[in-house]
Amino acid sequence: MWIFEGERKTRTRQGGNRNVLPLPLFVAGFLLAAFALLPSASASPARGLYEVREIKRGVYVLFPEDVVDTDGDPQFNRRTNAGFIVTPEGAAVVDTMNTPFRARDLLYEIRRLTDQPVRYVIDTDAHADVFLGNEVFVAEKSAIIATIPAAAEMRDYSIDLARRLLQDENWRLQTRMRGIHPTPPTQTLDAELHLQLGDEQIRIVPLSGGHSEGDAVVFLPLLKIVFLGHLFENGFFPRIGSSDVHRWIEILKELEAWDAEVYIPAHGPAGGKKELADFRQFLEWLWNEVATRAAEGKTASDLKREMKLTEIYRWSARDLAPRAIEEVYQQVLRERPVTPASADPADQGTITQPTASSHQAP
């Protein structure tokens, strides 16, 4: 029998959710379980690629190991954290990870704790690594909730995925995406939504326009926990993409002021206000550094070569570091377009106008 590390670390059970076994049955069950856990000649204990931790009473996070997946969408091949809230009235899930296969691990962990239905699944944005597991919860008859822009972005993603699959000449993407069905939300919100689940208050707060248009955070005010999705990366380089970095920084400042103690990122361990501020300062530093160097006439290629981002920040998802520089560079150019100095088409538009950006070391 394989013993998963994640199972070993999930120890807390919700009282009142299961019937108490009579003592003889309990003893028999204990002996059977002890026998099953003995190592056999043909199999040695293996470990899982995640661990589940109870953050506060009834609130759990599945923290995956930093693994690059070879199934699912290669553009979203890193597993995200997924949260779940267990109450005597039902459970709620925050983000369903990057494939239904990972989401089944998540459902398995929930089922180890409760037989109650999963009433709500909340997607914090429309990136495939937080919603491709949604389909697992259709059978659970869960309400799948996201913001209106996130729902639109998920539809766009599905259309784009179909196009990519048609263009996939070596069938690799089709092989990777076999058995995966992007599943959009069943309910959308355009304003803050309050849910009551047992004694737990769950607030879904849209905070759009920073990391993406469809962002929402999930706030548990009684327990002072916030699930931030991709708005917060703890020890991982972020996917900047078409994010509005200024708005993103403003949102993070706003979140730092909330009456919260625990901030759950998309990747990396849970953080507090300090870790959230560190990430916000990284975005500020990155912007200032790119803007300053761009104003000196440097190209994106120069910046990627000179900035040594992965040496300054020893974070995971190193492949995203040069992309982050490139993407911030393009945003800087959009704000202050000037003539390029490079013949490289990748370096279109170079700033010559000096800026007053501060240069703050991380």
Partner 1 sequence: MLTFRILEHTADIGFEAFGANRQEVFANAGRALFHIIADTKSVEPREQVNVSARGTNRSELLVNWLSDLLYLQDAEGWLFREFEVISLSDHCLQAVARGEKFDPARHQVKLPVKAITYHQLLLEELEGGWRAQVYVDI
Residues that bind partner 1 (CB under 8 A): 2, 43-44, 46-49, 65-71, 172, 316, 318-319
Give least dist CB 67 to partner 1, A.
Answer: 5
Residue 185 to residue 121: CA distance in whole angstroms: 9
Nearer to partner 1, 310 or 342 (CB): 310
Nearer to partner 1, 113 or 325 (CB): 325
The residue behind tokens 């043909």 is 42
The residue behind tokens 């990748």 is 346
Give least dist CB 309 to partner 1, A.
Answer: 15
User: Judging by DSSP bridges, how do beta strands 225-233 and 216-220 pair with one another?
Assistant: antiparallel
Residue 204 to residue 208: CA distance in whole angstroms: 12
Residue 255 to residue 262: CA distance in whole angstroms: 11
- Identify the CA nearest to 289 among candidates 244, 251, 254, 324: 324
Give least dist CB 350 to partner 1, A.
Answer: 26
Residue 124 to residue 134: CA distance in whole angstroms: 12
Residue 50 pairs with which residues in a beta bridge? 64
Q: Are 293 and 303 in contact (CB under 8 A)?
A: yes
Give least dist CB 68 to partner 1, A.
Answer: 4
Give least dist CB 46 to partner 1, A.
Answer: 5
- Identify the CA nearest to 133 among candidates 168, 162, 160, 94: 94
Nearer to partner 1, 2 or 30 (CB): 2
Q: Are 347 and 299 in contact (CB under 8 A)?
A: yes
Give least dist CB 70 to partner 1, A.
Answer: 6
Per-residue DSSP letter, 65: -
Assign 3-class secondary structure to 134-189. Answer: HHHHCCCCCEEEEEHHHHHHHHHHHHHHHHHHHCCCCCHHHHHCCCCCCCCCCEEE
Q: Are 344 and 299 in contact (CB under 8 A)?
A: yes
Nearer to partner 1, 66 or 244 (CB): 66
Give least dist CB 229 to partner 1, A.
Answer: 22
Give least dist CB 4 to partner 1, A.
Answer: 9
Nearer to partner 1, 62 or 145 (CB): 62
Nearer to partner 1, 102 or 293 (CB): 102
Give least dist CB 240 to partner 1, A.
Answer: 20
Nearer to partner 1, 50 or 248 (CB): 50
Nearer to partner 1, 69 or 129 (CB): 69
Nearer to partner 1, 39 or 117 (CB): 39
Which residues, including other chains, have CB under 8 Å from residue 309's CB and lie 6 or more apart? Answer: 237, 286, 321, 322, 324, 325
